[in-house]
């Protein structure tokens, strides 16, 4: 299946963009660390100094920000934290939900209606608002907040950020996989296994696993897209991956700066410039969030097509084996008089 996925143009295009951004960010980290130095002032043709920040025309390809730093380097440095955090959250959401879905399906059937009602009711609460309420006290504000001395370090905030974004979606994903198991266990071949005395382990390894593995891939890609959107929304609300620190920009304003330069921190820190004479600063992280989500969408489209093709091929092979007898039709062995 992996070879077919990599041969699919849509899946390959999306994968190459995500892998390329992540790889370039790691290479920059190995070679130069996470440092993005402030640029020297530029001069015009008359020799006069230009006032930063500089537009993409003055300093290609993406210009500079409100600290006169190269925006392209900031995007590259932050890519590994943004994409990496989304991948970690995705895996820690999906994999436990697969196992918990089995537990709910096999051992909590008498309580399924109660569980379904509770999870469905919780889904009406916006995940962005829920994450903001749970993270805001630790990241920026609250009684413990002190701009000069943050009560939590980078690793504490990063871990808490990841844990909250993982936990808030596990109940709904668990219910999703449990419902998938319900559908599989209603198939006709399951009845035959029950008659033969199959165990739960037999159901899982021989009947559920072949059906659920493709679904895990599709759900994982969808979750990655949802997580990227959630990270972007939290960035606008000033909730950054790993927290933020106070610094003074070229306009002598005290602003919060992401500690890791991840894209949600760039988006939240630059959002205010959308309505100024420096709008390119705000648009650049939006563009890269959009490109990343579109790349994941291409991977989802490609994976769906490949899995549909594989499923159709399996059905055709199965039907061919059932409906033929030594290469003949089912009634060809009956000779006409």
* Residue 112 located in a structural domain: yes
Answer yes or no: is 332 within a domain: no
Instruction: Convert the pLDDT of each residue in 259-269 to its tens digit.
Output: 889 999 999 98
Residue 274 lies in a domain: yes
Residue 48 has what pLDDT? 82
Q: Which domain holds residue 219?
A: 2-320
Query: pLDDT tens digits, residue range 68-99?
Result: 999 999 999 999 999 999 999 999 999 999 99
Average pLDDT of the chain is: 83
Q: Give the number of other CB atoms < 10 A from CB of residue 241.
A: 29
Is residue 242 scored above 90 in pLDDT?
Answer: no
Q: Supply the pLDDT for residue 313.
A: 54
Given a cut of 50, whether residue 258 has pLDDT beyond it is yes
Phi, psi values for residue 244, rounded to 5°: -145, 165
Task: Note the pLDDT of residue 46.
Answer: 81
pLDDT higher than threshold 80 for residue 272: yes
CA dist., res. 271 & res. 292, Å (int) = 19
Residue 51 falls in which region: left (phi positive, over 0), alpha (psi -120 to 50) or beta: beta
On whether residue 39 sits in a domain, the answer given is: yes
Going by pLDDT thresholds of 50, 70 and 90, the confidence category of residue 170 is: very high
Both tokens assigned to 201: 């382990």
**Percent of the chain's residues with pLDDT above 90:** 40
How many separate domains does the chain show? Answer: 1
| Helix, strand, or coil (residue 262) | coil
- Whether the pLDDT of residue 325 is over 60: the answer is no
Residue 122 belongs to a domain: yes
pLDDT at 197: 67
Determine the average pLDDT of the residues in 196-213: 76
Residue 331: inside a domain: no
The answer as to whether 330 is a domain residue is: no
CATH of the domain at 171: 1.10.3720.10
- Asked if residue 61 has a cis previous peptide bond (ω within 30° of 0), the answer is yes
| pLDDT at res. 149 | 54
Domain contains 337: no
């Amino acid at each position: 299946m992996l070879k077919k996925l990599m041969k699919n143009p849509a899946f390959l295009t999306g994968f190459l963009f995500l892998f390329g951004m992540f790889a370039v960010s790691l290479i920059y980290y190995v070679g130069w660390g996470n440092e993005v130095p402030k640029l020297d002032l530029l001069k015009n043709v008359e020799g006069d100094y230009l006032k930063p920040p500089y537009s993409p025309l003055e300093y290609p390809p993406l210009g500079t920000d409100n600290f006169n730093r190269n925006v392209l380097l900031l995007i590259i440095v932050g890519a590994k934290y943004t994409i990496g955090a989304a991948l970690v959250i995705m895996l820690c959401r999906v994999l436990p939900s697969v196992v918990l879905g089995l537990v709910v399906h096999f051992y909590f059937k008498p309580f399924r209606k109660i569980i379904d009602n509770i999870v469905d009711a919780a889904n009406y609460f916006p995940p962005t608002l829920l994450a903001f309420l749970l993270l805001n006290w630790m990241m920026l504000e609250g009684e413990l907040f002190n701009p000069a001395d943050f009560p939590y370090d980078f690793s504490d905030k990063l871990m808490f950020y990841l844990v909250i974004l993982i936990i808030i979606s596990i109940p709904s994903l668990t219910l999703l996989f449990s419902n998938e198991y319900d559908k599989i266990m209603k198939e006709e071949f399951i009845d035959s296994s029950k008659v033969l005395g199959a165990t739960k382990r037999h159901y899982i390894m021989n009947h559920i696993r072949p059906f659920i593995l493709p679904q895990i891939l599709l759900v994982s890609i969808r979750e990655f897209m949802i997580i990227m959107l959630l990270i972007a929304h939290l960035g606008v609300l000033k909730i950054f991956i790993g927290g933020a620190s106070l610094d003074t920009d070229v306009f002598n304003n005290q602003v919060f700066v992401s500690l890791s330069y991840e894209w949600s921190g760039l988006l939240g820190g630059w959002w205010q410039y959308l309505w100024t004479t420096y709008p390119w600063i705000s648009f650049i992280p939006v563009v890269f969030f959009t490109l990343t989500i579109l790349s994941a969408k291409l991977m989802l489209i490609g994976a769906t097509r490949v899995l549909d093709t594989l499923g159709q091929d399996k059905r055709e092979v199965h039907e061919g084996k059932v409906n033929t007898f030594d290469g003949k039709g089912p009634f060809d062995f009956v000779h006409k008089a």
